[in-house]
Structure 1
Amino acid sequence: MAVKPLYDRVLVERVESEQKTASGLYIPETAKEKPLEGFVRSVGPGKRGDDGNFIKMQVQEGDRILFGKYSGTEITIAGKEHLILGESEILAVITE
């Protein structure tokens, strides 16, 4: 199934959370918090400006991003959890 976000929406796949702590203790699945970063898998065309043209998106496919804890709508695609976020819900792009 292919999902293409509309307007200024972004499809994000969460990054896997750590399996153990820095001291070597394994974290049970029930105690893990969902990570607040992910990879952009697909982007919409952007918002429409006053002139009717699309305003270019600040993120693009493949970017690693940070987003808020309660941001977006969770969906499942091919057994993996994804989020659909508005571009304004993205806090930062991670560059290395």
Structure 2
Amino acid sequence: MSLLRNVKNLAPLLDRVLVQRVKPEAKTASGIFLPESSVKEQNEAKVLAVGPGAVDRNGQRIPMGVTAGDRVLIPQFGGSPIKIGEDEYHLFRDSEILAKINE
């Protein structure tokens, strides 16, 4: 049994980024429901929390590339999955994030 009951209790360390995948649409714009088998897992995620950043050889903090609330593209595989209740989250290193989606 996990001690974690709420994702807000999880604070990433160093250059880690906590994300949750955005669920793909199960319905088209015209209202047609898609079967689960045709809905692929998306690589889009929402950043929930970020660590303070890694430290370089000189002891300087390396700034993070993303902040909480950003929408990002993540690799299809990788990261460390974390399950809290029915929800699944992932921890990635800042350098593993593929892109930030600007709106």
Identity %: 44
Q: CA deviation at 1:33?
A: 2.1
Q: CA deviation at 1:77?
A: 2.4
Count residues with an aligned counterpart. 96
TM-score, normalization: structure 2? 0.80
For residues 20 and 71 of structure 1, the distance between their equivalents in structure 2, rounded to whole angstroms, comes to 28
Compare 3-12 and 22-31 and name the one that shifted more.
22-31
Q: CA deviation at 1:21?
A: 4.5
For residues 72 and 89 of structure 1, the distance between their equivalents in structure 2, rounded to whole angstroms, comes to 8
Amino acid at match of 1:62: G
Q: CA deviation at 1:28?
A: 2.5
What SS does the corresponding residue of 2:98 show, helix, strand or coil? strand
Whether 1:51 aligns to 2:58 is yes
Aligned to 1:14: 21
- Name the Cα RMSD after superposition: 1.8
Unaligned regions of 5+ residues in structure 2, if any?
1-5
Q: CA deviation at 1:62?
A: 0.4
Higher strand share: 1
Whether 1:75 aligns to 2:75 is no
